[in-house]
Amino acid sequence: MKEVFYWTLFYSFKFFIVITPTRVMDCIVKGLAAFMYAIDAKHRKIASVNLELAYKDAISNEKKEKIIKATYVNLIYLLIDFIQNQGISKEVLLDKVTFHNSDILMSAMNSDSKIILMTAHYGNWELLPLAIAAKFGPLTGVGRKLDSAVMDKILSKNRQQFNIEMLDKKGAMREMISVLKDNRMLGLLVDQNTSENEGILIDFFGNPARHTPSAAILARRFDALIIPAFITTEDHRHYEITFYEPILTNKSEDKERDILESVQKQANITEEIIRHKPEAWFWLHKRWKNQFEWRYDSE
């Protein structure tokens, strides 16, 4: 019964999006985001703690509140675009994306290097792999299955357009190794908290945080290039994807240091991008839970 409810809710929302004019939709998004901000005390608190840890007194409480509200707006637009991208043609998809520094990725592809694309839950992160695959060729991503079977099927169908392959996050390392051996691009989201036995401790916004070492481990093993790629927008209509200089992972006798340095570089570029436009990041996740769980419980 619950699956039927999810299916009905999703396709009702999809129909609503299709028939609603753009200007009307913009007003609805703002109203819905304000409503979610008002009633979602749990995630509003998480975002508030994250912003306190990240910025402390560097920005005002009013600015922090504005960022949280904008986060809800971004999430709703992400969902709308996700729905609009179902079955979209390559031409239509690429028409709403502008690429910057494409030569970085092209140079890596032409050198026959193994490529790991790293990004974060920033901007329209669901559109990012679709656009890259449509423009530059097949890639493999890693993600967690949804608890709802029907919603997971919808999500997977959308994510696997343009020869994108998705791996289940749980126990994905062996399959990621196969992906790189097959010379497919591998895409990873690396900005979320991990458990103590899965992540390594790095500095993120001046605080200790657990970070996945997967990209670094693979890069070191296969001499792969880790290429940061982030997507942003000013109007939620047209998007800009920017590639950044590859992160090189050393291969010295000190394996742990090599991996730590690579992971810290990944955290550094992620922090730099977030600081440039903080409202585009997913602040509703307990990023520092591993080290500051008490902050999320006490405030």
Residue-wise pLDDT tens for the chain (299 aa)?
A: 777 776 777 778 788 888 888 889 999 999 999 999 999 999 999 999 999 999 999 999 999 999 999 999 999 999 999 999 988 999 999 999 999 999 999 999 999 899 999 999 999 999 999 999 999 999 999 987 776 777 778 777 778 888 899 998 888 899 999 999 999 999 999 999 998 888 999 999 999 999 999 999 999 999 999 999 999 999 999 999 999 999 999 999 999 999 999 999 999 999 999 999 999 999 999 999 999 999 998 65
- The label of the residue with tokens 């902050």 reads 295
- Predicted confidence at residue 97, as pLDDT, reads 98
* Token pair 């990041």: residue: 281
Q: What is the pLDDT of residue 70?
A: 97
Predicted confidence at residue 181, as pLDDT, reads 96
Tokens of 2: 């619950």
- Look up residue 120 and give its DSSP letter: -
Q: What is the pLDDT of residue 6?
A: 67
Number of domains, the chain:
1
Contact (CB, 8 A) for 227 and 136:
no
Distances (CA, A) of 15 to 9, 10, 20, 25, 262: 10, 9, 9, 13, 45
pLDDT confidence of residue 170: 82
Q: Which residues contact 12 (CB under 8 A, 6 or more apart)?
A: none
- Find the DSSP H helices in the chain: 2-19, 22-39, 41-55, 61-84, 90-95, 102-110, 127-136, 149-159, 173-181, 214-222, 255-276, 289-298
* pLDDT value at residue 298: 66
Q: What pTM did the predictor assign?
A: 0.93
Look at residue 115 in the predicted model and tell me its pLDDT: 98
- Domain of 113, in residue numbers: 2-298
Closest by CA position to 193, among listed 201, 181, 205, 184: 201
